[in-house]
Structure 1
Amino acid sequence: MIKKQIITIAGGGSTYTPGIIQAVLNNANRLPLSEIRLYDIDPQRNEDMYLIIQYMLKKEGFTDVMISSTEDPKTAFTGCDFIFSQIRVGGMKMREKDEKIPLNHGLVGQETCGLGGFAYGMRSMGGLLEIVGYVQKYAPEAWILNYTNPESIVSEAVRRQYPKAKMINACDMTISIEETIAVNYGYDRKNWIPTYYGLNHFGWYTSIYDKKLKKDVMPEIIEKLTTKEMKVAEFNEGDKTWQEAFNMMSVITRNFPQNIPNNYLEYYLYSDMVVEKADKNYTRANMVMNGREKNTKEMAKKIRSGVTEDILNFNFGEHGQYIVDMATSLLNDERQRFMLIVPNQGAIPNLRSDAVVEVPAYIGAAGVEPISLREPINDFHKGLMEAQVAAEKLLVDAYFEGSYQKALQAFTLNQTVPNARVAKKVLDEMIEANKEYWPELV
């Protein structure tokens, strides 16, 4: 019989926490639970989420599961079995700056891509390394399942400082893409064995084998993508920015019809189009603050005031299920297949071995087993990836060395930046904006 697990959510106040908890509860037979701990440095957000999760547990009949919220790492991590990490260093206030500062210079303003993503990466490295350090101290045998962005950058930083940490890095974007494609074009994603390679938010599908149809359906999906734009799936319904992102998938596919792209490639391949349609005064951060963030506060307020009817108003999507599937695959040796962010080490044979790449991998009791693609990737994809890998590595160097020169090189080499002049302007503004979070660069 499997021991009941203690799960700590680092970044417990996140609006994504209810989706994760709902997935945990839905899979209680595979992931039996004794305790949930919410760890966050923002006590108000953590308390709001504590009330919401407590309400969920009672509503779902899990009255025997303990729930707590804490700002103390020793209390949060001691004796826990899994840490689900989804921290956002600097919160939405800093995300807004990540988006608006580049836009003011005519560059892509996005939380994980471009120079906004690099600014976020410089903050996230410190925050996640702190979490991993706590886990090494208080729960060295626990598995850290990481959603903290930007994934390639933070996983490289952890690999350098804690090479033996039991951490798995994953992004749910590929699952969202696959589900959106399946819903739009009449497939069942559960029948799919997809093959994909790239960097985080920077990759391509090479095949999607359908077990029921007994064939690779990627060629027919490409044909459909080029002729009929997709509508967002239910979990992104009503979200204008996600609809625009999936519209851009059709643009990318029409111009480069050999593969199905990750929709985030729009920021690198069509940065001018992205900037043209962006609102410099009201970015995605503002939408989230006025949407998910506000919604969460209202739910917590209702619970405090004693409202007893169903007050939950979340669109859970695939985010929570993906991380729970990783946990159950570890716990039960299920050897499920995921898209994971791992050191390359030959998985993509003609890409530098120390790159941090996103490729298919199996998870079992012993951890992660990446799949080798065996065949070299084409020069177009390799060239894009090599430049971005070099930029990301320079950024991680800048963090550990406190090097302004390395940071400037990273900003200049980022695939969304046209020249060193604008790279330096944005870097200098980002340094000023991030004084509280970045290491000193000299």
Structure 2
Amino acid sequence: MANTITVAGGGSGHTPGILLTALKFKEDFPIKEVRLYDIDEERNSDMGIIVDYLLKKHNTGIKLVVTEDPEEAFTGCDFVFSQIRTGGMEMREKDEKIPLKYGLVGQETCGLGGFSYGMRSMKDFLEMVGFIEKYAPDAWILNYTNPESIISESVRRQFPNIKIINACDMTIGIEELLENSFGYDRRNFIPQYYGLNHFGWYKELYDVSRGKDVLPEVIEKIKNEGFDVSDMVPSWAHTYRVMEEMVKNIFPDHLPNNYLQYYLYEDKALEEDPNYTRANEVMDSRLKEIKDTVAKIKENRELDTIGYESESHGLYIIQIAISILHNKNDHFMLIVPNKGAIPNLREDAVVEIPCYVNARGVEPTSLRYDIPDLHKGMMEAQMASEKLLVDAFFEQSYQKALEAFALNQTVPNATVAKKILDEFIEANGDYWVDLK
């Protein structure tokens, strides 16, 4: 039976890659209708032009709906692929640059920029989940919206029974880096990984083709050879060079998520140009590409230069959807309530661990071992600050927001935490709830 999918945040530059990935799996994941839903009418319209062109180019016969109306977007849909970005790149730029003014990490999911984004995301995401509960109560929400730990915690509190799976493709990115650098095939990996979103560690990488854990040799290769970053943009190359240092100096027995650099090597993260952040990179590349592509399609010129392709960013949620549809029990790294999965971590943590996905949804695995004190201590501090932020959102509490900002591990003292919080309140305006 063919499916109706709604892409929430349809105006995103990732939308073509997700849909082209879905087309590669049309036997297992047939689609009859695609709906692009976005509150930004201009961006949604632009992406509608691109998606319409791609669907016709591939002779899909798939119906396309472009809408800013939640009832039209969600009624009767089977899957919602969520990638909303409240405030767009303009607010992301502020998330990154305001902390940098104070000498702190400026990043969209980590540090206080991530908290600013989280407060915006919760407001719009929870409203959207309410629409989905009303118009498509049986739909699965496959969520990429960041910051995922904060989103997951807020949804757990307000919509405990909603059918949602929170996934992040960063672990795919790390495993693909190992493929490209050292010749492994990530399809053979059975990983043991634990942490919070963008805040975790590989404990084991069992390679089924070799019948053993290859993580020790991976770590030695990282130490002795380093990653192959020759084809990366400078910001990502820098990220993985810092990741090499984390392996060499801090985590000799584990492979860390690269985002831990923002908490442990803040000085390295601050080496990049504070006046030209990742938001500026995206505005000058992906957003410009959208406008250029729309112009080519409208003017019927240079169509052979339109370069949208299937991408790994979309692969994860397509494979999750297929595992649900066909009850495959495939293995994914997902963000779920802990409930004892990590025995020495608090029960109500929202953790990222290996899970199986079937027709019932997510079946988390239990690690059955205690994690090291260094990892546990870092996670508990991060988790507490995130929970305080979610408290601040639901209680509209300035005090809880200040506590969350002061506890964040990128923040040296409460004085600077308060200054940045106050500046973010002004910068975000109605994007945030009114803190009292």
TM range (shorter): over 0.9
Note the C-alpha offset of 1:61: 1.6
Give the whole-Å Cα distance in 2 for the aligned partners of 1:165 and 1:331.
17
Which residue does the alignment assign to 1:66?
63
Give the whole-Å Cα distance in 2 for the aligned partners of 1:208 and 1:199.
18
Cα-Cα RMSD: 1.0
Runs of 4+ displaced beyond 4 Å: none
Note the C-alpha offset of 1:316: 4.3
Give the whole-Å Cα distance in 2 for the aligned partners of 1:158 and 1:181.
33
Give the conservation status (yes or no) of the 8 Å contact 1:363–1:369: yes
Aligned mate of 1:230, from 212, 218, 227: 227
Give the whole-Å Cα distance in 2 for the aligned partners of 1:312 and 1:203.
37
TM-score of the pair, normalised by structure 1: 0.97
- Between 1:9-18 and 1:41-50, the stretch displaced more is 41-50
Alignment of 1:409-428 (within 5 A): 409-428=403-422
Residue by residue over 1:107-152, the C-alpha shift from the partner in whole angstroms, topping out at 9 and shown as x without a partner, is 0000000000000000000111011101000000000000000000
Which residue does the alignment assign to 2:435?
441
**Which 5+ residue runs of structure 2 have no aligned equivalent?**
none
Give the conservation status (yes or no) of the 8 Å contact 1:231–1:246: no
Give the conservation status (yes or no) of the 8 Å contact 1:35–1:67: yes
Query: What amino acid does structure 1 have at the position aligned with 2:44?
Result: N
SS of 1:6's equivalent in the other structure is strand
Give the conservation status (yes or no) of the 8 Å contact 2:16–2:309: no
Aligned mate of 1:174, from 171, 174, 184: 171
Note the C-alpha offset of 1:312: 2.2
Which residue does the alignment assign to 2:6?
8
Alignment of 1:13-412 (within 5 A): 13-62=11-60, 64-232=61-229, 237-255=231-249, 256-275=251-270, 277-307=271-301, 309-314=303-308, 316-412=310-406
Note the C-alpha offset of 1:60: 1.3
Note the C-alpha offset of 1:239: 1.2
Give the whole-Å Cα distance in 1 for the aligned partners of 2:268 and 2:52.
44
Give the whole-Å Cα distance in 2 for the aligned partners of 1:313 and 1:13.
17
SS of 2:304's equivalent in the other structure is coil
Note the C-alpha offset of 1:249: 1.2
Query: What amino acid does structure 2 have at the position aligned with 1:159?
Result: R
Query: What amino acid does structure 2 have at the position aligned with 1:270?
Result: Y
Give the conservation status (yes or no) of the 8 Å contact 1:152–1:199: yes
Give the conservation status (yes or no) of the 8 Å contact 2:20–2:309: no
**Which 5+ residue runs of structure 1 have no aligned equivalent?**
none
Note the C-alpha offset of 1:314: 3.4
Note the C-alpha offset of 1:310: 2.2
Note the C-alpha offset of 1:232: 3.6
Give the conservation status (yes or no) of the 8 Å contact 2:246–2:256: yes
Give the conservation status (yes or no) of the 8 Å contact 2:297–2:303: no
Query: What amino acid does structure 2 have at the position aligned with 1:378?
Result: P
Percentage of pairs with the same residue = 60
TM-score of the pair, normalised by structure 2: 0.98
SS of 1:300's equivalent in the other structure is helix
Note the C-alpha offset of 1:317: 3.2
Residue by residue over 1:353-412, the C-alpha shift from the partner in whole angstroms, topping out at 9 and shown as x without a partner, is 001000000000000000000001010000000000000000000000000000000001
Query: What amino acid does structure 2 have at the position aligned with 1:7?
Result: I
Query: What amino acid does structure 1 have at the position aligned with 2:325?
Result: L
How many pairs align? 435
